[in-house]
């Protein structure tokens, strides 16, 4: 792709703004670890929620969605659309609990919920596992995707691209802390969305508009299989077993960054950084609506255009970039390249800040150097960021496709979800429940792929792998839970007073636990929240794919349900400071 002077000026202007924001917040970030990692717990909901969306919108996402759509049709996106149900559980039940916990990372939760050596081991083990293993895979696949984009657009080699990207992103993420990350995220998300919408417009122009696209696809696929949102039972594009696994198992069973059952990771980090419980809930709600309903359709349209313009690509993910290279006019080329840089940097800066929070708070401060001053820990956070960048650069060189990396991470986390959901609501869960679930999921998944030949790359194989890993992992952690002692009653009561989750699962140790009424109302709100997102998602799709009446009806219904949700959750209280001496009132 040939870039003119104006294109390069657009790209340079973007980097100047990003670096300026990083420098502007560097002094505030140096004040303490809480400022560096949680912005002093002062984020408003719209900024925290947009930052979550920007983090999930990386350079890899449009490429992965393109690959899924080209190979499996629009229905292939149920791989991640199914996580709406998990995300809404976080909105309704878990956002306020994370905010009440008053912790710095979700790994620190281990020593709030559990006690003794097992809790300390879980905290350190989980922190290292997420920061050095999982985080490196995420940063690796995002960097591999951006390297693919730069290779096709600017002719850069993978290592050249990787080093350049890390240097540019590291400059402001190590300097600015979370405040700089989230403020830049807001700007980066806006830029990335405008760029992708513009690309979709130019892509449609290359095939004669929306009517031309639908005509061309119908001529190639008379059954319109690629355009189906719900596949047929005999669909060769999306096997019924795979579709079932996505809808019935995937969303609650698997741990996946940005869609963790019960919240977690950078989603929990943003929730814990908000100024109140209500801001925490609204941030999670805005994230789910924007993430699932507002973002996907420009990518899907470009993917469908790529099926018409470039049939039979060996790597379908490249179709998105080829449309960008061949059909964008000057100025827009520079704008979209800057938008991809923005998408990439918003994700990497979050992953680096989030991963460093584990290494500093849950490993270094907890086990190596307790009691140092606040500025010392902020400085160690910058060193940890550089270490993770180096590890992730190596991982990036081994990643082939983004879809494969997504499915690999889903598979090795299958079966852990129920533990993360129930640990807030059932007193009997203990530290060994989590350790055994994480270990069993990893061992079973890798073993099934190595010895049983179940491949995450194959749709049917992935479904079998997911269900097998979930079943065996569940048997393992339930067995370990029942075979090991419960946490001490005093620890359990202290946690209950601190988080106030409610529900019958605590009555055995906390007589003040509420009845099922709150859970029943929450389940109704959860159903309404899922309906909001799916109605908005498919309503927009109806407008774009030639079904305007159905699209308008769906969007009107989604709007009505949003009003209900906002009213139903209006009673969320501001956080009450908790101390062991003065329990917070329910």
Kindly report the number of other CB atoms within 10 A of residue 312's CB atom. 7
pLDDT for residue 566: 77
d(CA 500, CA 294): 34
Give the residue, 535 or 567, on which the prediction is more confident.
535
Give the residue, 571 or 436, on which the prediction is more confident.
436
pLDDT for residue 1: 63
d(CA 196, CA 213): 18
Taking residues 524-545, report their average pLDDT.
92
pLDDT band at 158 (very low <50, low <70, confident <90, very high): low
**Which of 145-149, 184-188, 296-300, 502-506: highest mean pLDDT?**
296-300
Residue 132 sits at the vertex; the CA angle it makes with 436 and 171, to the nearest 5 degrees, is 150
Range of lowest pLDDT (161-170, 182-191, 423-432): 161-170
pLDDT for residue 161: 66
Cβ distance 418 to 465 under 8 Å?
Answer: no
Give the residue, 451 or 17, on which the prediction is more confident.
451
Range of lowest pLDDT (79-93, 154-168, 533-547): 154-168
Cβ distance 165 to 352 under 8 Å?
Answer: no
pLDDT for residue 586: 33
Domain boundaries, the chain: 5-396+516-568
- What element of type H or E holds 53? helix 45-56
Closest C-alpha to 21, from 192, 193, 195, 175: 175
pLDDT band at 470 (very low <50, low <70, confident <90, very high): very high
Q: Where are the alpha helices (DSSP H) in 57-157?
A: 60-72, 78-81, 84-89, 95-101, 110-113, 116-128, 135-154
Q: Is the pLDDT of residue 335 over 80?
A: yes
Q: Is the pLDDT of residue 259 over 80?
A: yes
Chain segment 60-112, per-residue pLDDT in tens: 788 889 999 999 999 999 999 999 999 999 999 999 999 998 888 888 999 99
Cβ distance 216 to 307 under 8 Å?
Answer: no
d(CA 37, CA 554): 39
Give the residue, 556 or 157, on which the prediction is more confident.
556
Q: Is the pLDDT of residue 165 over 80?
A: no
Cβ distance 99 to 271 under 8 Å?
Answer: yes
Give the residue, 395 or 414, on which the prediction is more confident.
414
Mean pLDDT, the chain, as a whole number?
Answer: 83
**DSSP class per residue in 514-568:** --THHHHHHHHHHHHHHHHHHHHHHHHHHHHTT-HHHHHHHHHHHHHHHHHHHHH
Kindly report the number of other CB atoms within 10 A of residue 266's CB atom. 26
Chain segment 340-388, per-residue pLDDT in tens: 887 787 777 777 777 888 888 898 988 988 888 777 877 787 788 777 7
Give the residue, 402 or 349, on which the prediction is more confident.
349
Contacts of 55 (CB under 8 A, 6+ apart): 185, 258, 266, 346, 347, 350, 351
Backbone angles phi and psi of 274, in degrees to 5: -75, 165
Q: Is the pLDDT of residue 35 over 60?
A: no
pLDDT band at 28 (very low <50, low <70, confident <90, very high): low
Taking residues 513-517, report their average pLDDT.
54
Taking residues 314-325, report their average pLDDT.
90
Cβ distance 268 to 103 under 8 Å?
Answer: no
Q: Which architecture characterizes domain 5-396+516-568 according to CATH?
A: Up-down Bundle (1.20)
Taking residues 512-528, report their average pLDDT.
74
d(CA 509, CA 428): 10
pLDDT for residue 576: 42
pLDDT band at 402 (very low <50, low <70, confident <90, very high): low
Residue carrying structure tokens 């924001």: 21
How much is the pTM?
A: 0.84
Chain segment 195-216, per-residue pLDDT in tens: 889 999 999 999 999 999 999 9
Closest C-alpha to 296, from 557, 561, 53: 53
Q: Is the pLDDT of residue 392 over 80?
A: no
Measured CA to CA in angstroms, residue 31 lies from 96, 115, 541 at distances of 27, 31, 46
Sign of CA dihedral 579, 582, 583, 585: negative
Q: Is the pLDDT of residue 20 over 80?
A: no
């Amino acid at each position: 792709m040939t870039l003119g002077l104006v294109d390069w000026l657009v790209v340079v202007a973007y980097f100047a703004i990003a670096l300026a924001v990083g420098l502007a917040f560097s002094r505030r970030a140096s004040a303490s670890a809480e400022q560096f990692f949680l912005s002093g717990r002062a984020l408003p909901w719209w900024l925290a929620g947009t930052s979550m969306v920007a983090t999930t919108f990386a350079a890899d996402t449009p490429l992965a969605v393109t690959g899924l759509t080209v190979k499996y049709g629009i229905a292939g996106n149920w791989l991640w659309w199914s996580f709406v149900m998990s995300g809404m559980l976080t909105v309704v039940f878990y956002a306020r609990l994370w905010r009440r916990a008053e912790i710095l990372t979700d790994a620190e939760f281990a020593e709030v919920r559990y006690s003794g050596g097992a809790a300390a081991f879980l905290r350190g083990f989980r922190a290292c596992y997420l920061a050095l293993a999982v985080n490196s895979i995420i940063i690796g696949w995002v960097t591999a995707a951006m390297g693919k984009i730069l290779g096709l657009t600017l002719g850069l080699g993978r290592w050249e691209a990787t080093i350049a990207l890390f240097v540019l992103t590291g400059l402001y993420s190590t300097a600015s802390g979370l405040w700089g990350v989230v403020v830049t995220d807001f700007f980066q998300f806006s830029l990335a969305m405008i760029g992708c919408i513009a690309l979709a417009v130019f892509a449609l122009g290359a095939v004669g508009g929306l009517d031309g696209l639908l005509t061309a696809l119908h001529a190639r696929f008379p059954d319109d299989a690629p355009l189906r949102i719900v596949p047929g039972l005999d669909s060769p594009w999306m096997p019924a077993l795979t579709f079932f696994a996505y809808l019935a198992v995937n969303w609650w069973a698997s741990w996946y960054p940005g869609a963790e059952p019960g919240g977690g990771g950078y989603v929990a980090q943003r929730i814990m950084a908000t100024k109140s419980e209500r801001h925490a809930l609204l941030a999670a709600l805005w994230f789910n609506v924007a993430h699932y309903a507002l973002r996907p359709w420009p990518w899907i349209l470009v993917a469908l255009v790529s099926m018409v313009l470039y049939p039979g690509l060996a790597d379908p993910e490249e179709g998105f970039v080829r449309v960008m290279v061949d059909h964008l006019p000057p100025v827009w080329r520079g704008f979209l390249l800057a938008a991809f840089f923005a998408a990439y940097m918003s994700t990497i800066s979050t992953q680096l800040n989030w991963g460093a929070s584990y290494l500093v708070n849950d490993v270094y401060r907890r086990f190596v150097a307790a009691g140092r001053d606040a500025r010392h820990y902020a400085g160690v956070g910058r060193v940890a960021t550089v270490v993770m960048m180096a590890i992730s650069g190596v991982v990036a060189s081994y990643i082939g496709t983004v879809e494969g990396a997504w499915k690999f991470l889903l598979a090795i986390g299958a079966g852990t979800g129920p533990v993360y959901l129930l640990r807030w609501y059932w007193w009997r869960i203990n530290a060994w429940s989590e350790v055994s679930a994480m270990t069993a999921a990893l061992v079973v998944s890798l073993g099934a792929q190595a010895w049983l030949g179940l491949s995450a790359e194959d749709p049917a194989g992935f479904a079998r792998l997911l269900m097998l890993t979930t079943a065996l992992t569940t048997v393992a952690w339930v067995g370990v839970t029942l075979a090991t002692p419960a946490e001490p009653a005093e620890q359990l009561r202290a946690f209950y007073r601190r988080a106030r989750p409610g529900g019958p699962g605590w009555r055995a140790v906390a007589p003040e636990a509420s009845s099922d009424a709150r859970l029943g109302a929450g389940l109704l709100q959860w159903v309404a929240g899922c309906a909001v997102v799916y109605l908005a998602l498919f309503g927009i799709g109806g407008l774009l794919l030639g079904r305007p009446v159905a699209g308008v009806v769906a969007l009107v219904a989604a709007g009505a349900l949003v009003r209900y949700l906002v009213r139903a959750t209006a009673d969320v209280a501001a956080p009450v400071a908790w101390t062991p001496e003065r329990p917070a009132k329910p």
